[in-house]
């Protein structure tokens, strides 16, 4: 059996010192090299010998293309020749390709796929607007940075192909458009067809054309119609399906003419606002995407016909009398229960509040508006997943704890501490209900990578949980204190607060961290150790010992049991729901 020959690499190419092989394919090899003049790492694509020998053309095109700069394209630094082989020098991206990502994990979570495709389209649109047609788009030519930002690469090959025979078929076969096989002119519309196939694969985890032979693939490309619901094999919003259909039309005349048109159509789904400039950051896009999903999926918008009116008359600009607010709340028995529950929880121990008017008076208009908003969270509780039930119960448990900890944190208004504790995990709760597949992906990534949900939520959603919650909170016109209260505890040393808002933020985050430990600890011993460690770390921020904490946990468990009955938790509950209703026997407690 013959021994495979070892790849012999050049020591240097021009001013670049070759360090190692990054990969190889049908067109050549990719090398990691160091630019000796600028002292930076670069990726060099060294192509096999071809008919292209016009160095003057290459140099001129290189000057044009190397000026192109965009967050979603890999910068092309240089083009040249080395022993009759053309080479391209690209910015080095220390990450994996979209191909590797799909091969490793299958279909991307839906929201991540939509946001990422919009970013990919932004990069390709920039190329098209600068008269560059890629001609070889594929998941292998889209690199992902460590922050999961896609960057289109290998677009420099289109420069070389301008000097090749016009009838030469180039590209990755299963991602090619019908034009070269039907003897039709290619162009930016051909890139669009390819992008549709890539988007299909991102959503499904399957290659659109996966026939066993090149001939069969070409036949399928020439014969199959546009992507429809049957081909996709999954339920998606009609607007997404429309984008896929138009981008994958076999007839170029029926297709988006360029990537910008396709991006505009996709962003109409992500950002349904008139007059938008279509330049969207992933974080804003995810918030808008969630707001749109809320409008079509049961949950927040379905509490009652009075929700919009309630939010309007409890806004900062409203001059409506409290009696009008009471009358509207009284029409909805569920909302009435929520307001009374919040009033009795926020002012626990003073007196039992049974009259709705008194509850509204004690809470105040701002707190009632918060109550209305939180009621939206609870509306689907009975029909929600076990994860949603536990998240909502934990939010309430955290709220009661935060109210109890208001004193040690020097917070005068305990109701404010309660509210901040209630909304601290808004982003995570929304993800559980509206993006269940993405939430599962976050949990699985955290387990597989020995990481945590907060870190992996950014990888999957494009934003961390607390950033998503803050974005929605801003749309709901929640106060700055509540929005800042969604931030998690610092991973490092904890410091004293500088102002009232920071005190609320620290109190809410600290209470949530405690509730999380109680809900997830495998044993009483583990719970006690984790809480003791947290108390020691929080010493610069708050003065409280284990015995005092045990008293607050006992109170939180008592009220959480009442809350669970109100929400009709039932017998089928998670272990976390059970733990939250029982004060743990902590070691070291008096």
CB of 274 closer than 8 Å to CB of 265: no
Per-residue confidence at 497, pLDDT binned at 50, 70, 90? confident
Q: Where are the alpha helices (DSSP H) in 280-348?
A: 282-296, 307-313, 322-330, 333-346
Task: Give percent of the chain with pLDDT exceeding 90.
Answer: 22
Q: How far is CA 213 from CA 24, 216, 219, 289, in A?
A: 22, 5, 10, 39
Q: Where are the alpha helices (DSSP H) in 29-161?
A: 55-65, 98-105, 110-129, 157-161
- pLDDT given at position 403: 86
Residue 251 among the catalytic residues = no
The residues pairing with 16 across neighbouring beta strands, listed in sequence order, are: 13, 35
Per-residue confidence at 331, pLDDT binned at 50, 70, 90? low
Judge whether residue 419 has pLDDT over 70: yes
Structure tokens at 519: 């809900």
How many angstroms separate the CA atoms of 258 and 407, rounded? 60
The residues pairing with 21 across neighbouring beta strands, listed in sequence order, are: 31
Q: What is the mean pLDDT of residues 166-192?
A: 82
Judge whether residue 210 has pLDDT over 50: yes
Structure tokens at 233: 């094999």
Q: What is the mean pLDDT of residues 451-460?
A: 80
Per-residue confidence at 321, pLDDT binned at 50, 70, 90? low
Q: List the catalytic residue out of 78, 136, 154, 283.
A: 136
- pLDDT given at position 353: 64
Name the residue among 131, 156, 140, 153 with its Cα closest to residue 74: 153
The residues pairing with 34 across neighbouring beta strands, listed in sequence order, are: 17, 41
How many angstroms separate the CA atoms of 531 and 190, rounded? 59
How many angstroms separate the CA atoms of 104 and 208, rounded? 18
Task: Give percent of the chain with pLDDT exceeding 70.
Answer: 73
List the beta strands (DSSP E) in 435-569: none
Q: Is the dihedral of CA 29, 95, 443, 383 positive or negative?
A: negative
Q: Which residue bears the tokens 């981008």?
A: 247
Residues in the chain: 590
Q: What is the mean pLDDT of residues 134-158?
A: 84
Domains of the chain from N-terminus onward: 12-91 (3.30.200.20), 96-280 (1.10.510.10), 300-425+490-580 (1.10.3210)
More confident residue, 368 or 57: 368
Per-residue confidence at 342, pLDDT binned at 50, 70, 90? low
Judge whether residue 510 has pLDDT over 90: yes
More confident residue, 157 or 355: 355
Per-residue confidence at 130, pLDDT binned at 50, 70, 90? confident
Give me the chain's average pLDDT, please.
Answer: 78
More confident residue, 342 or 82: 82
Name, of 46-50, 201-205, 333-337, 409-413, the range with top average pLDDT: 201-205
């Amino acid at each position: 059996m013959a021994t495979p020959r070892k790849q012999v690499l050049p020591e240097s190419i021009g001013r670049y010192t070759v360090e190692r092989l990054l990969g190889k394919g049908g067109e050549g090899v990719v090398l990691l090299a160091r630019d000796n003049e600028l002292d930076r790492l670069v990726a060099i694509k060294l192509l096999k010998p071809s008919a292209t020998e016009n160095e003057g053309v290459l140099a001129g095109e290189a000057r044009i293309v190397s000026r192109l700069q965009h967050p979603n394209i890999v910068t092309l630094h240089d083009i040249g020749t080395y022993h009759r082989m053309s080479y391209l020098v690209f910015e080095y991206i220390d990450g994996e390709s979209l191909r590797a990502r799909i091969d490793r994990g299958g279909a991307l979570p839906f929201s991540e796929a939509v946001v990422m495709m919009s970013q990919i389209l932004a990069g390709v649109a920039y190329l098209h607007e600068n008269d560059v047609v890629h001609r070889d788009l594929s998941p292998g030519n889209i690199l992902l940075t460590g922050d999961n930002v896609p960057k289109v690469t290998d677009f420099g090959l289109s420069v070389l192909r301008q000097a090749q025979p016009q009838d030469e078929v180039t590209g990755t076969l299963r991602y090619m458009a019908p034009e070269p096989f039907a003897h039709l002119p290619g162009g930016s519309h051909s890139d669009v067809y390819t992008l549709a196939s890539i988007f299909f694969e991102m959503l499904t985890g399957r290659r659109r054309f996966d026939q066993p032979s090149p001939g069969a693939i070409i036949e399928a490309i020439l014969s199959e119609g546009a992507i429809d619901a049957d081909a996709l094999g999954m339920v998606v919003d009609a607007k997404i399906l429309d984008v896929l259909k138009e981008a994958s039309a076999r007839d170029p005349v029926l297709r988006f003419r360029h990537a910008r048109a396709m991006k505009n159509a996709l962003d109409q789904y992500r950002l349904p606002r008139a007059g938008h400039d279509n330049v969207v950051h992933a974080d804003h896009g995810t918030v808008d995407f969630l707001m749109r999903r809320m409008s079509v999926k049961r949950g927040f918008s379905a509490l009652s016909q009075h929700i919009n009116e309630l939010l309007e008359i409890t806004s900062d600009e409203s001059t409506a009398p409290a009696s009008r607010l009471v009358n509207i709340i009284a029409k909805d028995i569920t909302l009435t229960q929520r307001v009374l529950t919040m009033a009795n929880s926020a002012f626990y121990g003073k007196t039992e509040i049974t009259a709705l008017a008194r509850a509204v008076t004690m809470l105040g208009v701002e707190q009632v508006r918060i109550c209305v908003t939180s009621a939206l969270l609870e509306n689907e509780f009975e029909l929600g997943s076990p994860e949603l039930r536990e998240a909502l119960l934990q939010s309430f448990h955290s709220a009661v704890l935060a109210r109890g900890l208001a004193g040690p944190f020097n917070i005068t208004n305990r109701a404010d501490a309660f509210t901040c504790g209630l909304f601290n995990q808004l982003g995570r709760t929304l993800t559980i209900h509206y993006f269940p597949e993405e939430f599962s992906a976050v949990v699985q990534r955290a387990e597989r990578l020995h990481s945590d949900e907060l870190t992996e939520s950014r990888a999957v959603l494009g934003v961390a949980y607390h950033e998503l919650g803050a974005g929605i909170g801003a749309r709901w016109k929640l106060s700055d204190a509540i929005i800042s209260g969604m931030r998690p505890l610092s991973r490092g040393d904890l410091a004293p607060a500088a102002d009232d808002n920071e005190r609320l933020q620290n109190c809410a985050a600290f209470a949530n961290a405690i509730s999380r430990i109680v809900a997830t600890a495998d044993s009483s011993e583990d719970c006690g150790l984790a809480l003791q460690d947290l108390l020691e770390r929080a010493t610069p921020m708050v003065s409280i010992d284990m015995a005092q904490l045990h008293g607050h946990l006992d109170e939180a468990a008592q009220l959480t049991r009442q809350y669970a009955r109100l929400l009709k938790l039932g017998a089928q509950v998670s272990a976390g729901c059970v733990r939250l209703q029982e004060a743990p026997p902590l070691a070291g407690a008096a």
